[in-house]
Amino acid sequence: EAQVTQNPRYLITVTGKKLTVTCSQNMNHEYMSWYRQDPGLGLRQIYYSMNVEVTDKGDVPEGYKVSRKEKRNFPLILESPSPNQTSLYFCASSLEGQGYSYTFGSGTRLTVV
Amino acid sequence: KQEVTQIPAALSVPEGENLVLNCSFTDSAIYNLQWFRQDPGKGLTSLLLIQSSQREQTSGRLNASLDKSSGRSTLYIAASQPGDSATYLCAGRIWAGGTSYGKLTFGQGTILTVHP
């Protein structure tokens, strides 16, 4: 089944403890992206990647890192999480081109205390 | 900067009613527009994708239209059912700079409740 898989689905952590949220897609998509969703603010792009070793900042990149060493994986790294990063995170992928649709993962609900 | 607005923010209708959700965008240079459905606490499910060269797309009881010149898209749901209750999001795919076609800009969503 074609899908985007995120792990974990739920995560509670403490301020300052490094964490990684994994994202993997099995559709050979070039383009991958991370979004966060917050009440009243909607979905905002954190980082995106156009292909292996090609990444760039989205609208709200502060406090996050990403890497794209393989085409299928695009992990989101929080080096020193803070409570304002408590949010619902989504990974998405698409073929790179103007005519293609996005596929989203099921989301990761992160709470930083 | 591209902005996407959805009206209304919330809508409550009785079962069986036909309804229209609205989406407007500020930049007519979008590549395509995608409608999603999101159930509470869940991921986004793609409903319809309309290319910039198209006027509308249909899937079952859903019909989405796109008018680039006016910066509007509508999602029409026919014969609504309680199972249609969810948040509906529209998103425009715009040029992100360089060679990327990838950026999606989302509206805030319309929360739809269909009551029996």
Q: Are B25 and B33 in contact (CB under 8 A)?
A: yes
A106 touches chain B (CB under 8 A): yes
Instruction: Decide if pLDDT at B99 tops 60.
Output: no
Average pLDDT of span B108-112? 96
pLDDT-above-70 percentage for chain A: 98
Angstrom distances, CA of residue A55 to CA of A40, B76, B100: 27, 37, 11
Instruction: Decide if pLDDT at A53 tops 60.
Output: yes
B68 touches chain A (CB under 8 A): no
Q: What pLDDT is attached to residue B31?
A: 83
Average pLDDT of span B57-69? 94
CA dihedral B94, B96, B97, B102 (to 10 degrees): -90
- Using alpha carbons only, what angle is made at residue B24 by residues B19 and B28, rounded to the nearest 5 degrees? 135
d(CA A45, CA A52): 19
Average pLDDT of span A56-61? 91
B43 CB neighbours in chain A (<8 A) are: 90, 104-107
B53 touches chain A (CB under 8 A): no
Q: Do B101 and A97 touch (CB under 8 A)?
A: yes
pLDDT band for position B61 (cuts 50, 70, 90): very high
Average pLDDT of span B29-57? 90
Q: What pLDDT is attached to residue B46?
A: 92
pLDDT-above-90 percentage for chain B: 71
Instruction: Decide if pLDDT at B44 tops 80.
Output: yes
| CA R_g for chain B | 14
B32 CB neighbours in chain A (<8 A) are: 98-99, 101
Instruction: Decide if pLDDT at B94 tops 80.
Output: no
Using CB atoms, pick whichever of B101, B102, B107 lies closest to residue A33: B102
Q: Do A104 and B36 touch (CB under 8 A)?
A: yes
Residue B14: its H or E element: strand B10-14
pLDDT band for position B53 (cuts 50, 70, 90): confident
Instruction: Decide if pLDDT at B24 tops 70.
Output: yes
